[in-house]
Amino acid sequence: MIGSTLYIDPVSLKILDNVERRRNGPVMRTLTSLHIALMMPGFYGVRIVGFMGLAMTLFGITGLVLWWPRRGQWRQAFWVKRGVKGFRFNRDLHGATGFWSLIVFMILSISGVYLAFPVTFQSTVASVFSIRNGLTEAHADAATIASIPNKEAITPDDAVKLALAAVPQSRVLSVQLPPDPGGIYMIALAPRPYGDDAPQISAFVGPGTEISDVVDPRNYAIAKRVLMWLRVLHYGNGLGVVWRVLVFFSGFLPLLFAYTGVRMWWLKRAQRLSVMAAPEGAVAISAAE
């Protein structure tokens, strides 16, 4: 289905822009339901997916331990050695891919657990670290305030100017008008240099040139900032196109790890069976070659 977003001047009611907005079709809705809850009732499906995320987190940690090279073997641990096949090829591919994708893999796995069990996850973090929000005191500089023509009844442009002066290294996303003249504007800002989907800053401007409050995630406790970013990063947002591409390809990692892992097990099993079936005194060829 196709919808539209209209941008309207609140004073003249003139339509400023008309942006086409596409809604998810049945295929995307099915994929979303499959990803979030395995197309099961939400209570059960989301929890199963959450436990799968926990398992993937453990796989990532144990995989790093198993991959850790011995002394003198570091150089060949990061790549697939040219010309190898069979067990050695699958082991090299499994280990090298796991190493280079570990950060993305762990972020998505841990954030998946957080999204499935937000209350439990946040309570666990809060039992160890501070996750306070806290408001930030901010003030526009005197030069910016002096440039406002009417300090008693500021315009939306004035409110934006004051917000940007009070919150450096940010850019405007949206402006929420006050319910009555002389009220408080809410300015949504994005922290530079991150994308529009990064944790947003809210600046409350008014009455007059006063900055009432600023809710800036950059000033939260570290643990709280991590929790906010986990939610954003899981959806491929906040860090631009490169991160979105990495998140897209990370969706194929479990399949690759499962295939190479099963393949290694199968080749080792075949080797053991061939050794057991070989005539006494025969020489077995290693599956790792």
Q: What is the pLDDT of residues 84-95, one digit of tens each?
A: 889 999 999 999
| φ and ψ of 223, to 5 deg | -60, -40
CA distances from 211 to 142, 177, 193, 207 (A): 13, 15, 23, 8
What whole-number percentage of the chain has pLDDT above 90? 29
The pLDDT of residue 282? 54
* Cis ω for the linkage preceding 207 (within 30 of 0): yes
Angle CA(176)–CA(164)–CA(162) in degrees, nearest 5? 75
Residue by residue, DSSP assigns 92-135 as HHHHHHHHHTHHHHHHHHHHHHHHHSHHHHHHHHHTTS------
- pLDDT given at position 152: 81
Considering only residues 218 and 54, tell me which one the structure prediction assigns the higher pLDDT: 54
Domain ranges within the chain, ordered by starting residue: 40-133+221-277, 134-219
Q: Prior bond to 254 cis, omega within 30?
A: no
23's tokens: 């809604």
**pLDDT mean across residues, the chain:** 84
Spatial contact of 189 and 211, defined as CB atoms under 8 Å apart? no
pTM recorded for the entire structure: 0.76
Query: Each residue of 147-193: pLDDT tens digit?
Result: 888 878 888 888 888 889 888 888 898 888 887 777 888 999 988 88
